[in-house]
């Protein structure tokens, strides 16, 4: 059984499933702290939907990458793109989105690497 691929698939897809819930909780928290956002219209909604689709595509690409460094480089490039895209018009939303996007992506990368190591040691010790 291909444990590294299975661990990457499980954790990156779980990060994709968690993204809308974390995004909703972050927006709900912002509304409770600062009140209703000033931005109106469909442009920010479409931008956030584009970022969500980018997160899914990035995680699907990361499933196929075996090494950690290219996955971290891809995550950094995506975070830089979000900053360039959102910072001029929506600086507070850009910071929240980058924190959420980066933390979910970094968690999936680190947890999948840890799970790969644990599963490989279990297989090596013939526990599984």
Residues 31-75 pLDDT 10s: 898 888 776 778 888 999 999 999 999 999 999 999 999 999 999
Region 5-28: what's the mean pLDDT? 94
> How many residues are given for the chain?
128
List Cα–Cα distances, 115 to 41, 95, 98, 101, 128, in angstroms: 43, 29, 25, 21, 14
pLDDT at 21 over 80: yes
The pLDDT assigned to 39 comes to 67
- Report d(CA 10, CA 17) in Å as an integer: 11
Whole-model pTM: value is 0.87
Whole-number percent of the chain with pLDDT over 90: 65
Paired tokens of 98: 């980058």
120 in Cβ contact with 23 (< 8 Å):
no
């Amino acid at each position: 059984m291909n444990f590294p691929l299975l661990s990457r698939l499980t954790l990156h897809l779980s990060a994709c499933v968690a993204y809308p819930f974390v995004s909703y909780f972050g927006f709900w928290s912002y509304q409770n702290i600062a009140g209703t956002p000033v931005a109106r219209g469909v442009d920010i909604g479409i931008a956030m939907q584009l970022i969500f689709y980018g997160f899914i595509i990035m995680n699907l690409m990361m499933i196929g990458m075996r090494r950690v460094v290219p996955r971290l480089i891809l995550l950094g490039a995506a975070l830089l793109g979000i900053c360039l895209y959102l910072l001029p018009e929506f600086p507070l939303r850009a910071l929240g989105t980058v924190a959420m996007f980066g933390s979910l992506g970094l968690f999936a990368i680190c947890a999948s690497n840890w799970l790969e190591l644990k599963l490989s040691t279990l297989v090596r010790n013939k526990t599984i």
